[in-house]
Amino acid sequence: MEFLQSADFWIGLVKIVWINIILSGDNAVVIALAARSLPPHQQKKAVFWGSGAAVVLRILLTVVAAKLLELSFLQIVGGCLLLWIGFQLLSDDEEDEGESKTYGSLMAAVRTILIADLVMSLD
């Protein structure tokens, strides 16, 4: 427990937290894109549940990060998955342009947020 009294430990911890905050900006974009297709009253729920589940997922991924980094070509697979998710989020699935706006489901938005966060956490 002496490491808790070390300045190097606290400086390292602050650096890790700061880098994580900086790199998490793309998650906000994904959450916004995933929630945009929901009705207004479900958008806040999607952001809350998606963000909460993403935090839990991050904690779990932190535990297994060392083992994941030992896998070959993990960053290539993560990059390909990110491209696929980006394409899915930005593509317009609306074939009926003259029709009224349809909304997606809350669970689909939360699922998209979780998958995107998982993939972004891998790389």
Does the reported pTM lie above 0.75? no
pLDDT tens per residue across all 123 residues of the chain = 677 788 888 888 888 778 777 766 777 777 788 888 888 888 888 888 888 887 787 777 776 766 766 777 877 887 888 888 888 878 765 554 545 455 678 888 888 878 877 777 665
Q: Report whether 90 contacts 116 (CB < 8 A).
A: no
Q: What is the pLDDT of residue 111?
A: 83
Identify the pLDDT of residue 92: 61
In this predicted structure, what is the pLDDT of residue 68?
67
What does the pLDDT read at residue 33?
A: 80
- What distances in angstroms separate CA 108 from CA 43, 69, 74, one per listed residue? 12, 29, 26
Q: Provide CB contacts within 8 A for 95, sequence distance 6+.
A: none
Question: And the tokens for 108?
Answer: 């689909």
